[in-house]
A and B are shown apart, each in its own frame.
Chain A
């Protein structure tokens, strides 16, 4: 299991291609909002979820996907799914 810092780093790597506000991206925290802060196109949230699935080898259901709007909530979803898997 990755530490919190490692998880943020991995998530940042996944999110990076979709980010439209590079400045906000430099100061990512758990409360950073994908759409409002990073200006990610809402259509790309499904692509982020798919990339997360691939990276962590987990399945994100629709309900979990709807919650993945911030860095923190995404980390939470990933941690839970990994725990379910273990």
Chain B
């Protein structure tokens, strides 16, 4: 007998808002967090815009001790710890005193952690100053750095780990946490992911010419998923975190249940059949969605909202095609579909978790957030689905089932199915 898994805590550090209350307001209003980044211009990037969460010193002081803040130069850790602690507190969960909380674990993924800290150390090492690095380089650059920070603050005694699967990382973290609870190995898992910001993280993508260069003077209009004028993804950063909990534990604590996680699926297209290191095998995407639906025990017709990966590249229409085929639904029969990336850009390894937080908020608060900057829908997309299925403004509506997918380099796919929790 597998345990049912619910979501009882949410935390977010996103380019358009830090903290759940302001994020909820921002995504309902369709507020962009994309701004001009002078350092990218100075470094001669083609794309000189990006999304960086507005984390102030006073927010940092709220979540970090003075000692932890010393020599802290890892934006991913800042974002991850803030989002993680917000989720934990939001769930009404305590911090362990002497005895670790053996039933609580953490899976907090990332792509690359602490790149600015790493750069700082590379300079010192190359100057023969390795002895002057101090004690904080390893903890700020190890992939499991956020899990380690959070684990120490909370006192988690279950599995502490970090996963990595490119832009599917956040969604994968959720699936890993789900499995651990469903199998009875943990009662609670703080699942999430983060991504550093800045030129060293984003440069490789700029070099691949996959980011837009046409909107440096008009940043808020730059991230255009589903649009005919989509011209690449806008880089973002931040973190999202969700407390997953067994239904039994949540009911016992009388916790607020934001949604139920019905399960999901992960696969890879094997870089075959049209798939490559950087492009998805369409058949694998479709298969991933169909397997997720099957494992969640729902029917394709049950899905009310699709929270897409939809990065604002030429692959958007391929993604919509895959959803149409996987669900056997099109035209006016298609679910609502939107992309948070229209507001926050592509937060890379943080994308999945930030978008999952937005998805849960939609179910819990009864709305569908607008997918901005697609007033000029791509003709290939409007040929597949009715334009009114893509909200241009917030739609207030209670929904029951939401499908969330993310796809990443390496031809990897992840899809989770979330459901409104009815007592």
A residues adjacent to B (C-beta < 8 A): 17-18, 43-44, 46-47, 50
Chain B hits for A50, CB < 8 A: 132, 134
Chain B hits for A17, CB < 8 A: 66-67, 70
Instruction: Name 16 A/B residue pairs within 8 A (Cβ), A-sorted.
Output: A17-B66, A17-B67, A17-B70, A18-B67, A43-B135, A44-B67, A44-B135, A46-B134, A46-B135, A47-B70, A47-B71, A47-B134, A47-B135, A47-B136, A50-B132, A50-B134
- The digit string for B70-105, where 1 denotes a CB below 8 A from any CB of A, is 110000000000000000000000000000000000
Chain A hits for B71, CB < 8 A: 47
Instruction: Name A59's closest neighbour in chain B (CB-CB).
Output: B131
Per the bound structure, the CA–CA distance linking A75 and B132 in Å amounts to 21
CB contact list, B119-160 vs A, under 8 A: 132, 134-136
Chain B hits for A18, CB < 8 A: 67
- The digit string for B10-23, where 1 denotes a CB below 8 A from any CB of A, is 00000000000000
B residues adjacent to A (C-beta < 8 A): 66-67, 70-71, 132, 134-136
Chain B hits for A46, CB < 8 A: 134-135
Instruction: Name A62's closest neighbour in chain B (CB-CB).
Output: B131
Per the bound structure, the CA–CA distance linking A58 and B37 in Å amounts to 41
Chain A hits for B70, CB < 8 A: 17, 47
Per the bound structure, the CA–CA distance linking A11 and B135 in Å amounts to 19
Query: Which 3 residue pairs are nearest across A and B when measured between Cβ atoms?
Result: A43-B135, A46-B135, A47-B134
Per the bound structure, the CA–CA distance linking A45 and B56 in Å amounts to 30
Chain B hits for A44, CB < 8 A: 67, 135
Per the bound structure, the CA–CA distance linking A46 and B132 in Å amounts to 9
Q: Which of B66, B67, B71, B136 gathers most chain A CB within 10 Å? A: B67
Chain B hits for A47, CB < 8 A: 70-71, 134-136
Smallest CB separation, A86 vs chain B (Å)? 23
Instruction: Name B67's closest neighbour in chain A (CB-CB).
Output: A17
- What 4 additional pairs, Cβ within 8 angstroms, besides A47-B135, A50-B134? A17-B66, A17-B67, A46-B135, A47-B70
Per the bound structure, the CA–CA distance linking A43 and B135 in Å amounts to 6
Chain A hits for B136, CB < 8 A: 47
Per the bound structure, the CA–CA distance linking A36 and B135 in Å amounts to 19
Per the bound structure, the CA–CA distance linking A46 and B66 in Å amounts to 18
Per the bound structure, the CA–CA distance linking A46 and B133 in Å amounts to 9
Per the bound structure, the CA–CA distance linking A18 and B134 in Å amounts to 13
Smallest CB separation, B134 vs chain A (Å)? 5
Chain B hits for A43, CB < 8 A: 135
Smallest CB separation, A10 vs chain B (Å)? 18
Per the bound structure, the CA–CA distance linking A44 and B71 in Å amounts to 12
Smallest CB separation, B99 vs chain A (Å)? 19
Per the bound structure, the CA–CA distance linking A73 and B273 in Å amounts to 68
Smallest CB separation, B224 vs chain A (Å)? 47
Instruction: Name A44's closest neighbour in chain B (CB-CB).
Output: B135
Smallest CB separation, A47 vs chain B (Å)? 5
Per the bound structure, the CA–CA distance linking A46 and B71 in Å amounts to 13
Per the bound structure, the CA–CA distance linking A17 and B65 in Å amounts to 10
Per the bound structure, the CA–CA distance linking A47 and B132 in Å amounts to 9
Instruction: Name B139's closest neighbour in chain A (CB-CB).
Output: A43
Per the bound structure, the CA–CA distance linking A17 and B66 in Å amounts to 7
Instruction: Name B134's closest neighbour in chain A (CB-CB).
Output: A47
Per the bound structure, the CA–CA distance linking A44 and B136 in Å amounts to 9
Smallest CB separation, B243 vs chain A (Å)? 28
